[in-house]
Amino acid sequence: MPGPIDYSKLDIHPDYDSKEWWAGTKLHKYLVRQCKDCGHKRFPPGPLCAQCNSFNAGWFETAGKGTIHSYTVIPKGGLPAFAEIGSYVVALIELDDCQGPEGSLVRTCGVLVDDEDAAAIGLPVKVEYEAGPDPEFVFPRWKVSGTAPDAWKFTGE
């Protein structure tokens, strides 16, 4: 199991597009941008809809559940906040309730609570929240929440 992340060493400056997202995580809500004109969902939160070029954007509250589309293992943290965590997994996660264009799912990126042994492509994950030292910021982290018959991982063989 990876060690703790030292959130005090992350320097976060929410901007116009991300301040409401951070307000959502504080309430344990995992939000994605949703276009108010065409309904397209997207992450990370940016100002412009890639489907219809509208700036008329709102938010969609996801269920905070998804599937590991891919992942990588970081052997030793590069950022100071990750210096004590040891080896950890960063996953590309397809959000279950966020249909994107042409049948794809909206993807987000997250650090897993679980270690490399628990991670595999195709496994379901759910978001969890960790409080940082600053009460203004609550950090999402993802945990493997089940099994999948078609889960796959590189074994080196």
- Quote the least distance from Cβ 106 to Zn ion, whole Å: 13
Distance CA 157, CA 135 (A): 46
Nearer to Zn ion, 89 or 106 (CB): 106
Nearer to Zn ion, 75 or 103 (CB): 103
Nearer to Zn ion, 56 or 147 (CB): 56
Distance CA 131, CA 96 (A): 25
Query: To 10 degrees, the CA torsion angle through 85, 87, 90, 96?
Result: -90
- Quote the least distance from Cβ 58 to Zn ion, whole Å: 11
Nearer to Zn ion, 35 or 125 (CB): 35
Residue among 10, 12, 35 at smallest CA distance from 23: 12
- Residue pair 124/95 in contact (Cβ under 8 Å)? The answer is no
- Quote the least distance from Cβ 26 to Zn ion, whole Å: 27
Binding site for Zn ion (CB under 5 A): 35, 37-38, 40, 49, 51-52, 54
List beta partners, residue 126. 65, 143
